[in-house]
Structure 1
Amino acid sequence: MSLFQNIVIIILLIIGGGFLSLTEIALAGARKVKLKILAESGEERAQKVLDLQVNSADFFAASQIGMNAIAILGGILGEAAFRPYFVTLVDRFYDGPWTQSIGFALSFTLVTSLFILFADLMPKRLAMIAPEKIAIAVINPIQIFIIFCRPLALFINAIANLIFKLFKVNTKRDDNITFDDISAVMDAGAQAGVLQKQEHHFIENVFELEERNVPSSMTTRENVVYFTLNESEASIRQKLAEYPYSKFLVCSKNIDDVIGYVDAKDILVRILNNQSLLQLNESTIRNVLIIPDTLTLSELLDRFRSSKEKFAVVINEYALVVGVITLSDIMITVMGDWVTPIEEDQQIIKRDNNSWLIEGSTPIEDMKHALEIDEMPDEESYETLAGFMMYRLRKIPRPADTVVFGDYKFEVVDVDHFKIDQLLVTRLSSEQPTYKEEE
């Protein structure tokens, strides 16, 4: 064959190899979620791609047959076509025993470079840009190619399957989506500007509902305002005026003897109608939802949905009331400052770029968000910042007790009757050990 004919054949081989490389990366990289959306919108080729991904052995066998055959044939033709011309070129500058070897090396380098550049590298990079679109575009011709190569592909796959079976290799593709996968997609969306910062924050908080327990968002026992059955009218009026709550617990004598709850709206109606409040009765007391403190916020949402309630009492394993929680508390956990007035949210006060005043009752998840900490040690052992200090110090903390974790120093500022009221958290400028305690 003439040089022109060889060049035409080599170009066709490069195009064929590039097509197979493009197809291989596109079909492997096409995302199942996007393909399903396209298939549901009526794109039949998207469903064909999904089916091929499930049974990909025939395609990869056919692809490797084609690519290796093209590479071998291209090498043979290229060496035969270009070697004489390179030998002639070398003869002009060098006349010796290595002339043929140099000509072979130059022709080999030229053909290999052409195939690497145009049949491998560039097609694969193009396929990574839009794998779904390219996979849909090439699915019909590649299916014809698979049928053509099927006899040899079946033989090769049989040998491969036998080897995998001997070495007990699982070849099934795992398409399960984990939280880490979704989190990575959200991070990528935030970096690309598709998700705004607050939207990214909301989505992260929604997923955290499955991990955060009820105590992390409830109103703790010491902050619960409640009425007793013998509460005086003056006391009821004073609590209504002093505390901006819509619901109040009703207890027999103390907080652990819960009877139900009253809605502030019902009491205000009685006041407006000049009715007596000397005794709370069945017309105003409602049944209250009682839940264990081991529930997650996600499970509590299901309880609220099934019971049609928005208010619950949280008890521990000893049947003691540890707090109350409302649907609004869960929404505040998700939305943060967007539903909580800034002047009312005093749990975390930023003093400057490197220090914060934080209440001991602050949930660990809220503290992690504020300080941009990814993970705290042994998080399952405590719910609040005060719990973290007690867990690390292994004692009841006193003012000036300090724990250093990572790049942060946690110092107890105020303690009231063994309860940690406030801590000063400082970001350290110098690198510190992972864990250290001081008194």
Structure 2
Amino acid sequence: MLLFAALVLLILLSAVFSGSETALMAINRYRLRHLARTGHGGARRVETLLRQPDRLIGLVLLGNNFVNILASSIATLIALRLWGEAGIAIGAALLTVVLLIFSEVTPKTLAALHPERLAFVAGYYLSALMAVLLPLVLAVNFVSNGLLRLLGVRPEDARQDSLGREELRTLLFEAGHHFSPRHRGMLLRILDLESVVVEDVMVHRNEVRYLDLDDPWPELLEQMRSIPHSRLPVCRGSLDHLLGVLPLRRVMHLLGDSTFDPERLQGLLQEPYYVPEGTPLTQQLLQFQAQRERFALVVNEYGDAVGLVTVEDILGEIIGEFSGGSASLMADVHPQSDGSCLVAGSASVRELNRTMG
């Protein structure tokens, strides 16, 4: 009876080691780091163990192989007493089936389905075992790592998993049920910002509204009263002769003043802020923040003004257009009888793709 009790105990220990190995390898590393940062004790223990996976694997396999070999020896003794020499084969076959079902498939399946729950429990006893068996584990790792180096593999060069942009996109799609479609779309568009440049979202030169000081003064006053923007480029003739940028809040109280004239208006102009058309949106957003600007003129490689961009244009790439939206865009799209669409050349291709899928 003592041998049977010892055999059952060893089979249970084998199941514990097998399940622990699968749980620790299957646990979500990013959730683990989050829990560890919030002070979760179990998460901290598991994270400490996973920092040196070669030691952890060495410890688990050392324990698992020890109990399996000892179980095999005890099973052989029992079989010899029950069936004689013929019992060796019978005992080996029975033990293989029992270990496969109760110490491998069942615990590993359970650990794969609930890795977090089992890993936190395993962290307690594996940390204690690591402290006791560390010299033996280090000796085993020294030999195994030496063999790996002979094969050209350096364990110390192993890098922790990191997520690239495409992996993050996949993660957002997989975790879509945790976010509303709108929020998920915003997060996905943030990931796209680095691949989008100012030229893709700017207001093109032929659509830029500006004040031309060559126009009659009454006409300029009416433009300043009715313009919906907070800043306007001011030039003579065209954007090629830019004089500056006018913050309209500085002139609103002067529009009824009879002494207000083009000379006084020029005295209120600010220096224009220029940005290259190939600047990534992530970089430009940071530059707007650093310069405390909300409005920039876009120049090409020759220094010619080709358009303008605002903070709202960049934020619109993340949260959608502030005004107009898909309704105003679809006014530029005219379905044809043959199934094709006639689209105005001034329509935004990026917004067109998003709206029409």
TM-score, normalised with respect to structure 2: 0.85
Q: Separation in 1 of the partners of 2:56 and 2:325?
A: 59
Gap change, CA 1:296 and 1:227, over 3 Å in 2:
same
Task: Please report how far the alpha carbon of residue 68 of structure 1 lies from its aligned counterpart in structure 2 after TM superposition.
Answer: 2.0
Superposition RMSD on alpha carbons, in Å?
Answer: 3.2
2:36 alignment counterpart: 39
Q: Which runs of 5+ in 2 are unaligned?
A: none
Q: CA deviation at 1:243?
A: 5.3
Which stretch shows the higher mean deviation, 160-169 or 128-137? 128-137
How do 1:325-344 residues align onto structure 2 when only pairs under 5 Å count? 325-337=309-321, 340-344=324-328
Matching residue of 1:18 = 15
Secondary structure class of the residue paired with 1:174: coil
1 CA distance for matches of 2:331 and 2:132?
A: 69
Question: Residue type matched to 2:236 in 1?
Answer: S
Which of the numbers 291, 297, 308 marks the counterpart of 1:307?
291
Per-residue CA deviations over 1:238-292 (Å, capped at 9, x if unaligned) read 5457753332211133212222112334444322455545556244322221111
Taking the aligned partners of 1:73 and 1:142, their CA distance within structure 2 comes to: 20
Shift of 1:61: 1.0
Alignment check: 8 A CA contact 1:231 1:278 kept: no
| Residue among 228, 232, 253 paired with 1:269 | 253
- Residues 262/274 of structure 1: CA separation in 2 closer, same or farther (3 Å cut): same
Match of 2:146 in 1: 162
User: In structure 1, what is the equivalent of residue 56 of structure 2?
Assistant: 59
| Deviation digits for residues 179-233 of structure 1 (CA, Å, limit 9, x no counterpart) | 233222211210xx10111111000111211111001110001111111233322
Identity %: 20
1:17-416 matches, within 5 Å, as 17-78=14-75, 81=78, 104=89, 107-171=91-155, 172-190=158-176, 193-237=177-221, 239-240=223-224, 244-273=228-257, 276-279=260-263, 281-337=265-321, 340-346=324-330, 349=333, 358-360=343-345, 365-370=350-355, 372=357
Any stretches of 5+ residues in structure 1 without a counterpart? 89-99, 373-439
- For the 8 Å contact 2:198–2:281, the answer to whether it is kept is yes
Task: Give 1 or 2: higher strand fraction.
Answer: 1
SS at match of 2:175: helix
State the number of aligned residues.
Answer: 353
Contact 1:250 1:259 in 2 (8 A): yes
The 1:117/1:258 distance shift into structure 2, 3 A limit, reads farther
Question: What secondary structure sits across from 2:215 in the alignment?
Answer: coil
Structure 1 residues 23-51: Cα deviation after superposition (integer angstroms, max 9, x where no partner): 21222233443333333333344333222
Structure 1 residues 275, 357: closer, same or farther in 2, change over 3 A?
A: farther
Q: What amino acid does structure 1 have at the position aligned with 2:166?
A: D
Shift of 1:340: 4.5
Cα displacement string for residues 319-339 of structure 1 (whole angstroms, at most 9, x for unaligned residues): 111100111111111112565
SS at match of 2:239: coil
Distance in 2 between residues matched to 1:368 and 1:124, nearest whole Å: 46
